[in-house]
């Protein structure tokens, strides 16, 4: 920025126009995202904005673009079962809904989603608004918030297969993108991982280590990712001559991993390999194995899924299937911004590939 501009106060559109050699109206069109501006002129205006230090007035810009320049990042829970609506709403009002948010923040997965979203939006001058939709009333508030234009669209992370929010958003014609394929088909774009392929990598690694008495701690089997990871692991083991794989269902929490591992050891004390469908459950499994005097990986090899912070917190560090959550969240955000720029564009999906990360547990 020049000394003249610094002394004159905050840079204006006129300052940018003079620096770029174009009209004030052209600068306004570029700043407000009008698409039919020559790319050369757009670049000249962007350079002038950088040189002058001009910052758009968000309130004024919103009047022109009818955009909030904010995105709702919604973590949504299960639906309210018939006959339980009153109880659920009372629970939400009494503050017990904090258990839902506590569970969200306890899982490193959600922090990685936020990181990917923020890192994508920040350079574009946009910000996420974090919202929780753990009850029917909260879901109604999210839909109303979007309808009022308080946010331009929603990035939705569902924690339960029966979550009705994606369908509510689709029915309202609101812009949204989902993290993970919905359990029931809805016309909303999503990003996801090739979960079965990831489970195949885990199975092949355990087999390659010589494990022959393997078991698995699955994720919730009403969640597509939980189903797919179990299917991928079982199918791969069957292809290698292992038709029966003991399964205990977990809930993607460390506590459920501990409980599942206790049960597996009680029922199958000679097992030599375990695939847990996420790192938190694998962390719990390793803890129980140590308590029972089983060395990891000497007696029992353990493979997790996600490559989250829990994998590094585990002792020994966890061999795991990497889910590139930050990149998936960034892609989810890109898809939403593209939808906002092209409202009539097609619904789409982007599937990421998993990768095995070998550490000390297997």
pLDDT tens-digit series, residues 258-313: 999 999 999 999 999 999 999 999 999 999 999 999 999 999 999 999 999 999 99
- Using an 8 Å Cβ cutoff, are 113 and 179 in contact? yes
**Helix/strand/coil percent split, the chain, to 5:** 50, 15, 35
More confident of the two residues 321 and 43: 321
Q: What is the pLDDT of residue 35?
A: 57
pLDDT band with cut points at 50, 70 and 90 for residue 57: low
Cis peptide bond N-terminal to 316, omega within 30: yes
* Residue 120 token pair: 């994508």
pTM to 2 decimal places: 0.76
- Using an 8 Å Cβ cutoff, are 305 and 202 in contact? yes
Q: How far is CA 224 from CA 55, 185, 194, 219, in A?
A: 44, 12, 11, 9
Angle between helices 39-52 and 24-31 in degrees, nearest 10: 90
pLDDT band with cut points at 50, 70 and 90 for residue 90: very low
pLDDT band with cut points at 50, 70 and 90 for residue 134: confident
Please list the residues that pair with 306 across neighbouring strands: 322
């Amino acid at each position: 920025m020049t000394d003249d501009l610094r002394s004159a106060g905050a840079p204006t559109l006129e300052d940018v126009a003079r620096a770029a050699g174009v009209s004030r109206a052209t600068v306004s069109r570029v700043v407000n995202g009008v698409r039919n501006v020559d790319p050369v002129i757009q670049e000249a205006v962007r350079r002038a904005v950088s040189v002058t230090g001009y910052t758009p007035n968000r309130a004024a810009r919103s009047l022109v673009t009818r955009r909030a320049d904010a995105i709702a990042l919604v973590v949504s829970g299960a639906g309210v079962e018939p006959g339980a609506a009153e109880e659920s709403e009372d629970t939400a009002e009494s503050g017990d809904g904090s258990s839902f948010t506590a569970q969200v923040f306890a899982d490193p997965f959600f922090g990685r989603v936020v990181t990917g979203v923020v890192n994508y939006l920040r350079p574009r001058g946009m910000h996420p608004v974090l919202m929780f939709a753990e009850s029917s009333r909260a879901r109604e508030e999210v839909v109303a918030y979007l309808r009022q234009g308080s946010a331009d669209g929603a990035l939705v992370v569902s924690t339960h297969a029966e979550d009705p929010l994606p369908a509510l958003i689709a029915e309202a014609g609101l812009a949204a993108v989902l993290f993970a394929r919905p359990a029931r088909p809805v016309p909303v774009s999503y990003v996801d991982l090739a979960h079965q392929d990831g489970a195949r990598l885990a199975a092949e690694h355990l087999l390659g280590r010589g494990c022959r008495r393997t078991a698995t701690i699955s994720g919730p089997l009403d969640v597509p990712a939980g189903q797919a990871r179990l299917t991928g692991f079982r199918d791969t083991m069957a292809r290698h001559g292992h038709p029966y794989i003991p399964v205990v269902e977990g809930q993607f929490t460390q506590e459920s991993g501990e409980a599942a591992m206790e049960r597996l050891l009680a029922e199958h004390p000679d097992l030599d390999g375990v695939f847990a469908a996420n790192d938190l459950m694998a962390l719990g499994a390793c803890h129980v194995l140590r308590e029972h005097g089983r060395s990891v990986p000497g007696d029992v090899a353990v493979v997790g899924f996600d490559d989250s912070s829990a994998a590094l917190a585990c002792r020994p560090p966890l061999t795991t299937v990497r889910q590139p959550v930050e990149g998936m969240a960034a892609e989810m955000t890109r898809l939403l911004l593209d939808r906002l720029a092209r409202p009539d564009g097609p619904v789409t999906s982007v599937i990421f590939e998993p990768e095995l990360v070998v550490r000390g547990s297997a």
